[in-house]
A and B are shown apart, each in its own frame.
Chain A
Amino acid sequence: MNTNILLELLENNARLTTQDLADILHEDEALIKSEIQQLEKEKIICGYHTVINYNKALKNEKVMAFIEVDCTPQRHKGYDKTAMKIANYPEIDTMYLLSGDCDFLCLVQGKTMFEVARFVSDKIACVEDVRATKTLFVLKQYKQNGIVMKDEEDVESTRLVVTP
């Protein structure tokens, strides 16, 4: 079985059933089931998410911010130990180690700007070896996971229903 194609299919549409996946990949459904279980066990598949346009939903109840974090790496441990201290906060949605001016880039979600600001100053800035933080609030989201966020509802498709 081509695991990469299986992963790609699920990444694009996690709602495909195991039977759909079996049809697409020309495999036995039972084999697909066991492959997915294995991928979940190995933490290659880490979850199934829905892409939500927060410009439209919960727009008064949710703010997002990118937090740039500078830290001092530790001997033998590098960045990983500090990173885990930060990543374990449930407020942190996504986190990367970067090259360039800052070390970590974290995406944080909160209910209000005040809540996010307090989380950064009270929690992240106080983590051992963190030297500085910079908070960048998201004003509007244009694209997420390859999907362009549209303000207006889908207008009736302009494609003809039947063509030669």
Chain B
Amino acid sequence: MASVDNILRSVGTMSALPGTVARIIAILNDTESNSKEITEIIRRDEVLSLAVLRAANSVAYGVPGKTFDIRQATVRLGSAVLTQIALSQQMSPLFKCAGSAYGLRRNALWGGALGGAYAAEQLAKVHGFDDSKLCFLCGLVRDIGQLAIDAHCGETHATIATTDENRSFLDDERAAIGTDHTEVGAALASRWSLPDRIVDAIRYHHGPPGPTQAEHDRLFDIVHAADVICLWAGLGIGDDGLRYRVAEHVSESLLANREQVEDIISSVSTQIARASEELDVTLGAGEIA
């Protein structure tokens, strides 16, 4: 039976966290930093600059007129969108080819990651959580444990789902490999030297501590709710299906307003469809083999 260490050892060859992402995370985590630093990082990276120029001229962002000047483009888009573009563009190579361990085809895991990021960001805005950029990041990386398990186990992991539909898939993972993708993800995030709060957001994305517990953090609630919204939106669903529990305190708070949640689901779906068109790939809908 695999341990977290065994899994992480076998994924030693997996791409490390891109340096640009590490720098952006450090900026997001530092209250003294400002958005100019993110803009500078983008200007120094040719591929990112190109992505920003494309976004600045895309109808998706609703900016009138055309620009071919990177400085003008960064001003037009603003720091929140720049952060989104930088993180998405840099993280996508890690996710795009993964997913066979969960019965997902190419790009489906990436669609789930991006959907979680969009959902977390919108939940933060709707519920007055002041750091929507951090929510976007945590939504994006919440399932990095699936990347590690994918690299370690491959398609053999896709056979572990039991026929008991009322059993959590996390229990199936623990029974099959001795751990689950939340623990593996938190360990991988620690190895990548991500801040503790992001590590814990990954660890608790399927079971955030309740309001009476010392570890309770609204960030974890938002990331958990974003994950549930992805399940409802059909994003990144594989052989694990919908076999994850919804935390009661999150169900009664962040997910209590049906119309609000449906608005977020439809909006996330529209954003994913737009991203699919821009990238000319099908994101999100995973093949159930």
Our verdict on whether A and B bind, yes or no, reads: no
